[in-house]
């Protein structure tokens, strides 16, 4: 899973807005800076707005410090602006590493990653991370109110904007059911949210951030059917009009993806739509059966 360390996952979600965000986020950014091995550019280039979200990986090789086997081993990839890509592969294949390199938690040992044609190493880190929205498997919520948590996506959002994002994230109903609504405290001493509710709040936060590129590490833990349906609805709305790269654990995601990438041992071994890969890739058939219980092409 991407970014098991909660602090870093949280940071990734807020880093783009960190200058405007509250003290907690600034402390998290410092934490990342001290842990991070990347060199920020000496003369950072601004990312010209509006960000389109076109991404290329040009022969990316990356080995984690202290490891002998590469996590990514010669990955070439072009993702069109607005494309919906789902990444699948066995545990340890390099799926999370791919997202981590896009966010510049690490830099590749060889090769180049571009966003809208610009080498991401030349970009202002705040612009880069501001253009990327991460929804992690286990969304981290801060202590503070529901509204405070949502405003990490957009510190200036007024209550109407928060309500609209919550509605699109299928979260408005449960928020309004709390006696204090958007002012309900979360975290220690506050209300406890279900897994599905936490995910929908994270989706609302990402909607508020409105990134050109969405990086999504889908939760593996099972939700009940109703919660699953609400989360899927919210994700579908979140992905509209953005490039999305999803580490896929849901059948709906792979079936609806424009393209699936199959990673194995750090290499891109197959790509295509779900039905194409069911026909052409034994590894994909195996993964689909394991992860989604699907041997035959699903219709959607
Ligand atoms: P999973 O489905 O289990 O989350 P994954 O496909 O996302 O797996 P990665 O997490 O990208 O795989 O891991 C790729 C390889 O890099 C694995 O061999 C893993 O052990 C190694 N790896 C991942 N993170 C680190 C790290 N922070 N330090 C050292 N090695 C790591």
**Could you tell me where the DSSP H helices lie in the chain?**
6-14, 23-35, 95-102, 125-131, 146-151, 159-168, 172-177, 195-209, 225-239, 251-256, 274-280, 282-287
Q: Which region among 8-17, 81-90, 109-118, 162-171 has the lowest average model confidence (pLDDT)?
A: 8-17
Residue 286: how many CA atoms within 13 Å on its side-chain side? 7
- CB of 97 closer than 6 A to ligand 1? yes
pTM, two decimals, is 0.86
pLDDT at residue 32 in the model: 54
pLDDT interval class at 35 (50, 70, 90)? low
Q: Quick one: average pLDDT of 245-274?
A: 95
Query: In this structure, what token pair is assigned to residue 215?
Result: 């990086």
Percentage of the chain lying above the pLDDT 90 cut? 66
Q: Which residues contact 248 (CB under 8 A, 6 or more apart)?
A: 86, 87, 88, 218, 254, 257, 260, 291
Q: Which residue's C-alpha comes closest to atom 19 of ligand 1?
A: 92
Is the pLDDT reported for residue 209 higher than 80?
yes
- CB of 36 closer than 6 A to ligand 1? no
pLDDT at residue 127 in the model: 92
Residue 137: how many CA atoms within 13 Å on its side-chain side? 17
Q: How far is the CA of 71 from the centre of ligand 1 (A)?
A: 7
- CB of 1 closer than 6 A to ligand 1? yes
- CB of 94 closer than 6 A to ligand 1? yes
- CB of 100 closer than 6 A to ligand 1? no
- Where b means 16+ CB within 10 Å and e means fewer, 200-224 reads bbbbbbbbbbebbbbbbbbbeeebe
- CB of 63 closer than 6 A to ligand 1? no
The best mutation among 4, 37, 87, 95 to test binding of ligand 1, ranked by most ligand atoms within 8 Å of the C-beta, falls on: 95
100-140 residue pLDDT tens: 999 999 999 999 999 999 999 999 998 999 999 989 888 87
ipTM score assigned to the predicted complex? 0.98
Q: Which residue's C-alpha comes closest to atom 9 of ligand 1?
A: 94
The best mutation among 38, 86, 87, 97 to test binding of ligand 1, ranked by most ligand atoms within 8 Å of the C-beta, falls on: 97
């Amino acid at each position: 899973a991407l970014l098991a360390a909660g602090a870093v996952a949280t940071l990734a979600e807020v880093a783009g807005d960190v200058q405007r965000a509250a003290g907690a986020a600034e402390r998290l950014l410092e934490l990342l800076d001290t842990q991070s091995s990347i060199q920020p550019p000496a003369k950072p280039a601004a990312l010209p707005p509006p960000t389109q979200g076109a991404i290329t990986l040009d022969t990316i090789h990356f080995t984690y410090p202290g490891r002998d086997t590469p996590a990514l081993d010669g990955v070439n990839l072009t993702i069109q602006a607005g494309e919906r890509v789902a990444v699948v592969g066995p545990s340890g294949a390099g799926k999370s590493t791919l997202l981590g390199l896009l966010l510049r938690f690490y830099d590749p040992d060889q090769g180049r990653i571009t966003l809208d044609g610009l080498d991401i190493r030349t970009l202002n880190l705040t612009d880069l991370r501001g253009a990327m929205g991460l929804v992690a498997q286990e969304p981290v919520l801060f202590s503070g109110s529901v509204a405070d948590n949502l405003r990490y996506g957009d510190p200036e959002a007024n209550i109407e904007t928060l309500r609209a994002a919550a509605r699109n994230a299928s979260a408005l109903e449960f928020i309004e059911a709390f006696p204090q609504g958007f002012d309900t405290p979360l975290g220690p001493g506050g209300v406890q949210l279900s897994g599905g509710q936490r995910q929908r709040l994270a989706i609302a936060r990402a909607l508020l951030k409105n990134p050109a590129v969405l990086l999504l590490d889908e939760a593996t833990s099972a939700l009940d059917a109703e919660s699953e349906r609400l989360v899927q609805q919210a994700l579908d709305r979140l992905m509209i009009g953005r490039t999305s790269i999803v580490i896929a654990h849901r059948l709906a995601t792979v079936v609806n993806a424009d393209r699936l990438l199959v990673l194995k041992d750090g290499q891109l071994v197959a790509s295509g739509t779900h039905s194409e890969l069911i026909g052409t890739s034994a590894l994909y058939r195996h993964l689909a059966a394991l992860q989604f219980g699907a041997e035959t092409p699903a219709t959607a």
